[in-house]
Amino acid sequence: MTNNPTLLAAVGLSKTFPGTRALDGVDFDLRAGEVHALLGENGAGKSTLIKCLTGAYRRDGGDILLEGASIDPRDTQEAQRLGIGTVYQEVNLLPNLTVADNLLLGRQPRRLGLVSRRETNRIAREMLSRYGLTIDVARSLDSYSVAIQQIVAIARAVSLSGKVLILDEPTASLDRDEVRMLFDVVRSLRAQGLGIVFISHFLDQVFDISDRITVLRNGRLVGVRDAATLDRTQLINMMLGRELSEETRDRGRGGFDYAQRARIAYVGTGRAGVIAPFDLSIHRGEVVGMAGLLGSGRTETAELMFAAAPRDGGSVNKDGKPLKLASPRDAIAAGFGFSPEDRKTSGIIGDMSVRENIVLALQARQGWMRPVRLSRQREMADDYIRRLDIRTPDAEKPIGQLSGGNQQKALLARWLATNPEFLILDEPTRGIDVGAHAEIIRMIENLCESGMSLLVISSELDELVTYSHRVVVVRDRVHVAELIGEEITTDSIVAAIAKPSPAPETSA
Amino acid sequence: MNGTLARFGRRIAPQLVTLAVVVAMIGIVFPGFFDISIANGRLYGSPIDILNRGAPVALLAIGMTLVIATGGIDLSVGAVMAICGAIAATLIVDGYSLPATLALSLGAGLLCGLWNGLLVAVLGIQPIVATLILMVAGRGIAQLVTEGMIRTFSHHGFASLGSGNLLWLPTPVVIWVCAGILATLVVRRTALGMLIEAVGINRRASMLAGVNARLLIVTVYMVSGLCAAMAGLIVTADIRGADANNAGLFLELDAILAVVVGGTSLLGGHFSLIASLIGAMIIQAINTGILVAGFPPEFNLVIKACIVLAILVLQSPALQGAAMLFSRTKGQP
Amino acid sequence: MFAKTLLGASLLASMTLLSSAALSQTIGFSQIGSESGWRAAETTLTKQEAEKRGIDLKFSDAQQKQENQIKALRSFIAQGVDAILVAPVVATGWDAVLKEAKEAEIPVVLLDRMVDSDKDLYLTAVGSDLVHEGSVAGKWLVDTVAGKDCAVVELQGTTGSSPAIDRKKGFEQAIAGAANIKIIRSQTGDFTRAKGKEVMESFLKAENGGKNICALYAHNDDMAVGAIQAIKEAGLKPGTDILVVSIDAVPDIFQAMAAGEANATVELTPNMAGPAFDALKAYMDNGTVPPKFIQTESKLYTQKDDPAKEYEARKGLGY
């Protein structure tokens, strides 16, 4: 199989959006007759790569070769004509039409200018029989399960394109038997010589079906491996493990004095179906790291801690006294700050100036009656622009026009302006360039030295190792492990994440 | 400070130019347009008429601008005008004192705004749907108050709100100018304006930064209700009667148009009250211009539509971008 | 069988006789709704007229919906009323229900508005002639200015509405012979006070502060009331400096006439039911078939007609 010819290749592919470099010189190759898994955390560049391959985006740089010839599809239809078909998680067919109509839409056989229903149904039955499906094709699509709809979508895509099939999270809403049924179809297509790109965040499924695995991270290629020679731990290492070679250390920071009373203590905090109840306390001057795969419950933990999402019961103490924590406003009043994962939708106010973004949280806490004077706003903005090295021509530029790293620094400035005691940072280094990355790490260290308490969520394990006194590992919506001081290494974190059984543990 | 002033000048320049052009056009069609004299102890002339007749839309535009800045819209203002006018006329006929009448009518406007605000901010109903409820029901409420007839009164104090004079100007002009100045000061001298814009641009991010978005949204709808109540009082006082069927009819659309002509995006975010007020005057100038020009009434709406279309096309981002490109290429040697 | 029919017929005849002679004639009235003061007054007067004649009036308010009116008519037919009055909300769609009434031999009289059905399907229609109203107003002006030059400004009703078109037409016909009277400006005031006032203000500005204007003709009294305020605020005397003539005869215009601020109004009587009841009585008693259209009187009221008394008489009618 490894000797099969290359069907589709991306060479040095690049794509930039305002504020982020989504793809940075990525190479990717797909052979005929293989299932090639594409893995990476949120923002790693998977979907951007797929969209460039299928014509949904136009690339900025690099080349795409289909059977050795350079192609530049302008839209998905053109990619389809060239032989590249895609099936998305949400089936993009017409649920109220019949299965047969969905399969043959736009090219139904005609007789005397009219669609011949009998002929349509006959062809449709024939198409599906190749996938081992014998269903009534005259019934509407939505009368069948999502798995069957997926297979119909695959059948349509294959019949339209026939060389490359891209499956974007196809199993997200399927149960175990349905996944098996789908994988049988995928295997038979592989046997027919199609090249199949498989995107999923279910690692078991990836190992089950894939021949090779490509891992992306921060828009760059981490590596390509044969699935057969790769184990789980190695894979997680590729996705989360060491990346920064300088300015990091191998082991967590030891010697933190846990005798002092915790500054903030969460007891039994959780929410049914979102995250299992957890206890977590943070001390003065402590950095608590939080690690886990995408969808493990990291972000949900942060939102509950900042009261940005409702929680079931539990209590929160600050300096030994119970704290009312029902809304972000309560949290801010208690001296909390929260820089969320999705900068664009939950962090920046895109159309507003850097200055206004920086003073927003302080202003909101003071209330509208007590405005921060304009001269004071300018002073603050200029001060943070200088101290955090925010690259902007001036404080009046709309923040949406800044690069991702500078947006992140301005958001940090927003919270620093409120002089917080406890700061929650969700993926503060995602999608930003290496220089800004190192600066933010240094800043986190400086802040904790000044006595601030921090909770930092990150997919960059070496980063967590560098600044954390303690690391909490989240898996399948449960806090499963807590590593302290010297115990913290990328390997111990990866081991905790990779451990398949859900049994909780306290140390590596 | 100079930079701020220059930015403000740039912001309202398109509206000022548009107003000047519209007024100049009227001057061409009707040469007597600029004649202003003093009669009955006040300034008298067509330009004063524009300021005077534009009062209801100007007042509505103040509230509407704030609502639109939060990403909402208030379709109920015309109906709220009818309700408050009906209540005021009924109370004054029933012998209530003028201060009590005004307080109760303005209170009714605030209550209408509170209702809209709660539907939008607390129940999370889309603003266009939430305010549609009161838009439809409000006129019915007003008709219930007036019992279906035009409720007339002869209270001179109240009537002077609509047709009296203050400082050589019609009272409605003084009212909307003062309301505009007051609103601008409150919004810009406090942090209210900035917080409203933040909520309008990104409500979730604002809430996570600690902005009390819910309270702010309820507040802007209440301000809108209060402005509608003032507008309702003025039109009622003007004709010395509450006409539940016609008071404020379709004025919500003129108010939205004033905000749009004033350059505030319907998507919410940055706003300018002054620009909206100029927008209201542009619309009234068009209305008054059509009346003094003496065209047959069949052309009224077509003429208005054509002028508004021209204004919006000139203000459209596509054309502005083209103009900028043009001036840049011209500037190069 | 024959005897039975005969008995039934004589019984029916005696009942009809009885009801017309004494009490217990039942008439159904389907009203459009109460969208205006005039409509409310029509309802009040219809009830008063029925009471005066000892008619048992079954009243139904359709709230502006034709389906409600058709339902009301069917229920009147089912109850076996002696006659039906209907003020139709729209002109079309009445054929079926009018046929049902005809088959049940119940005479139908249309009030105030016409329908597009076959004339055989209803007994008669009572209404005013809008063109005539305009011409009465025009004729009054011609007589009043008596040959002197007079520049008229006109406040039209809602653009495109039939009262606006017809009242304009009638007025123009009446002044066509008088070369001394000219309409110099004409704009729509949407039948409302507020617009009447606003438009009048612009007329005054456009015509030399109103000095060029001799008379105002408004298509309804409400616009005239608004315009009178505008004239006063411009420092002129309505009724003296500018003559004011309008149509409808609502109570407030009589107040203005009593104060000398309006000169004349042409009545659109809300009493459509009176002539309708009279025609029905004649038809039922003697079989007199009325003409297909009974035009109500478009009576002219001026300051000489004791406007204060007229105001008192009208203000309770629900205008």
Specify the domain boundaries for CATH 3.40.50.300 within chain A: 6-96+140-230, 243-335+420-508
Query: Is the pLDDT assigned to residue B72 strictly greater than 90?
Result: yes
Contact C318 B149 (CB under 8 A): yes
Chain C residues with beta carbon closer than 8 angstroms to that of B240: 229
Amino acid at C170: G
Parallel, antiparallel, or unpaired: how do β-strands B151-152 and B42-44 relate? unpaired
Chain B residues with CB-CB distance to C208 below 8 A: 32
Our count of domains for chain C comes to 2
CB contact under 8 A, B49 and C235: no
Residue-level pLDDT at B331? 42
Same domain? C69 vs C206? no
Nearest beta carbon to residue B292 from set C188, C197, C202: C202
Examine the domain organization and report whether C259 and C278 are in the same domain. no
Same domain, C163 and C61: no
Give the largest Cα separation in chain A, rounded.
87
Interchain contact, C198 vs B39, CB within 8 Å: no
pLDDT of residue A507: 38
Inter-chain contact B207–A365, Cβ cutoff 8 Å?
Answer: no
**Domain interval for residue C254:** 130-268+303-317
- Over the stretch C26-39, which tens digit does the pLDDT of each residue have? 999 999 877 677 88
Q: Do A346 and B204 touch (CB under 8 A)?
A: yes
Residue type, C20: S
* Mean pLDDT of the B39-44 span: 78
Same domain for C75 and C102? Answer: yes
CATH number at residue C140: 3.40.50.2300
The answer to whether B245 contacts chain A (CB < 8 Å) is: no
For the stretch C117-151, pLDDT in tens is: 888 999 999 999 999 999 999 999 999 998 899 99
pLDDT at C6: 46
Question: Is B262 a domain residue?
Answer: yes
Under a CB-based contact definition with an 8 Å cutoff, are residues A361 and A423 in contact? no
By C-alpha distance, the chain B residue nearest C155 is: B297
What Rg value do the Cα atoms of chain B yield, rounded?
A: 20
Range of the domain at B281: 40-300+307-316
Which pLDDT value is given to residue B175? 97
Decide if B220 contacts B183 (C-beta within 8 A): no
Collect all residues with Cβ–Cβ distance below 8 Å to B250 and sequence separation of at least 6: B78
Give whole-number Cα distances, C69 to C29, C31, C57, C62, C87, in Å.
Answer: 10, 8, 16, 5, 9
Confidence at residue C99, expressed as pLDDT on a 0 to 100 scale: 94
C-beta atoms of B150 and C201 within 8 A: no
Whether the CB of A370 is below 8 Å from some CB of chain B: the reply is: yes
Q: Which residues of B touch A349 (CB under 8 A)?
A: 197-198, 201-202, 205-206
Closest to A170 (Cα-Cα) out of A200, A139, A128 = A200
pLDDT at position C79 over 70: yes
The answer to whether residue B29 neighbours chain A at the CB level (below 8 Å) is: no
Residues C183 and C237 in one domain: yes
Task: Tell me if B246 is assigned to some domain.
Answer: yes
C-contacting chains (≥3 CB pairs under 8 Å): B
Chain B touched by C181 (CB under 8 Å):
no
Question: Which pLDDT score is estimated for C13?
Answer: 45
User: In this complex, do C40 and B291 lie within 8 Å of one another by their Cβ atoms?
Assistant: no
* Alpha-carbon span B236 to B216, nearest angstrom: 30
Neighbouring C-beta atoms of residue C99, cutoff 10 Å:
14
The answer to the question of residue B156 being in a domain is yes
Q: Same domain for C191 and C77? A: no
Which of C61, C152, C187, C212 should we substitute to test contact with B (largest number of B Cβ atoms within 10 Å)?
C187
Q: Cβ–Cβ of B163/C233 closer than 8 Å?
A: yes
Q: For A243-335+420-508, CATH number? A: 3.40.50.300
Contact at CB, A340 and B192, closer than 8 angstroms: no
B–C contact: 3+ Cβ pairs < 8 A? yes
Residue C102 sits in the same domain as residue C137: no
Best B202, B212, B218, B220 residue to mutate vs chain A (most A CBs within 10 Å): B202
Q: Which residue has the tokens 């002077």?
A: B160
Residue with tokens 């209801």: B56
Homologous superfamily, domain A6-96+140-230: P-loop containing nucleotide triphosphate hydrolases (3.40.50.300)
Say yes or no to pLDDT of B4 above 90.
Answer: no
The beta-strand segments (E) located in A107-191 are 110-111, 114-115, 164-168
Residue C318 touches partner B, C-beta closer than 8 Å: yes
Residues of B in contact with A328 (CB under 8 A): 207-210
Instruction: Judge whether C19 lies within some domain.
Output: no
Mean of all residue pLDDT scores within chain C:
88
Q: Which of B189, B201, B210 sits opposite A365 (nearest CB)?
A: B210
B291/C187 CB distance under 8 A: yes
Cβ within 8 Å, pair C186-B297: yes
Q: What is the pLDDT of residue B71?
A: 94
* Interatomic CA distance for residues C108 and A475, integer angstroms: 82
Tens-place pLDDT, residues C168-220: 999 999 999 899 999 999 999 988 999 999 999 999 988 888 899 999 999 99
**What is the tally of helices (H) and strands (E) in chain B?**
15, 6
Identify the band that residue B326 occupies on the pLDDT scale cut at 50, 70 and 90.
low
Half-sphere exposure of A358 (CA within 13 A, CB side): 29
* pLDDT at position C9 over 50: no
SS3 of residue B140 by DSSP = helix
Q: Is the Cβ pair A345, B205 closer than 8 Å?
A: yes
Cβ pair A469, A256 in contact under 8 A: yes
Q: Find the CB nearest C185 among B238, B294, B298.
A: B294
Q: Which residue of A has its CA nearest to B186?
A: A369
pLDDT at A19: 63
ipTM of the complex, rounded to two decimals: 0.86
Whether B125 maps to a domain, the answer reads yes
Greater confidence (A28 vs C65) lies with A28
Whether the CB of C139 is below 8 Å from some CB of chain B: the reply is no
The CATH number of the domain holding residue B73 is 1.10.3470
The answer to whether C193 contacts B243, with C-beta atoms less than 8 Å apart, is yes
Q: Does A375 touch chain B (CB under 8 A)?
A: no
Instruction: Identify the H or E element spanning B77.
Output: helix B77-93
Same domain, C255 and C279: no
Q: Which residues of B touch C187 (CB under 8 A)?
A: 291, 294, 297
Residues 177-196 of B with CB under 8 A from A: 189-192, 194-195
Q: Do C239 and C160 belong together in one domain?
A: yes
Tell whether the model's pLDDT for residue B321 goes beyond 90: no
Per-residue pLDDT tens over the stretch C245-272: 999 999 999 999 999 999 999 999 999 9
pLDDT at residue B328 is higher than 70: no
Residue C282 pLDDT: 92
Residue to test with chain C: of B292, B295, B304, most C Cβ within 10 A: B292
Q: Are residues C280 and C149 in the same domain?
A: no
- Judged by DSSP in three states, A488 sits in coil
pLDDT at C24: 64
Shared-domain flag, residues C307 and C185: yes
Total of domains in chain B? 1
- From A350's Cα to the closest Cα of chain B, the distance in A is 7
Same domain, yes or no: C182 and C122: no
Partner-chain contact A328 B190, CB within 8 Å: no
How much is the pTM?
Answer: 0.79
**Contact (Cβ atoms closer than 8 angstroms) between residue C290 and residue C161:** no
User: Cα distance from B1 to chain C (closest Cα, Å)?
Assistant: 42
Domain-located, residue C139 = yes
Query: Pick from C197, C206, C208: which is nearest to B294 by CB?
Result: C206
Q: Is there a domain that residue C10 lies in?
A: no
Asked if residue C64 is part of any domain, the answer here is yes
For chain B, say whether C43 makes contact (Cβ under 8 Å).
no
Under a CB-based contact definition with an 8 Å cutoff, are residues B89 and B108 in contact?
Answer: no
| Model confidence pLDDT, tens digit, residues B262-292 | 999 999 999 999 999 999 999 999 999 888 8
> Which residue stretches of chain A have pLDDT < 50?
1, 502-508
Q: One-letter amino acid identity for A67?
A: E
Does chain C reach chain A with at least 3 CB pairs under 8 Å? Answer: no
Is a pLDDT exceeding 80 seen at residue B46? Answer: yes
Which own/partner contact pairs does C91-100 have at CB distance under 8 Å and 24+ positions apart?
C91/C115, C91/C116, C92/C116, C93/C66, C94/C70, C94/C121, C95/C121, C97/C70, C97/C73, C98/C122, C100/C73, C100/C74
**Angle (nearest 5°) at CA B220 between B90 and B240:** 25
The C-alpha atoms of residue C152 and residue A273 are separated, in whole angstroms, by 79
Whether the CB of B220 is below 8 Å from some CB of chain A: the reply is no
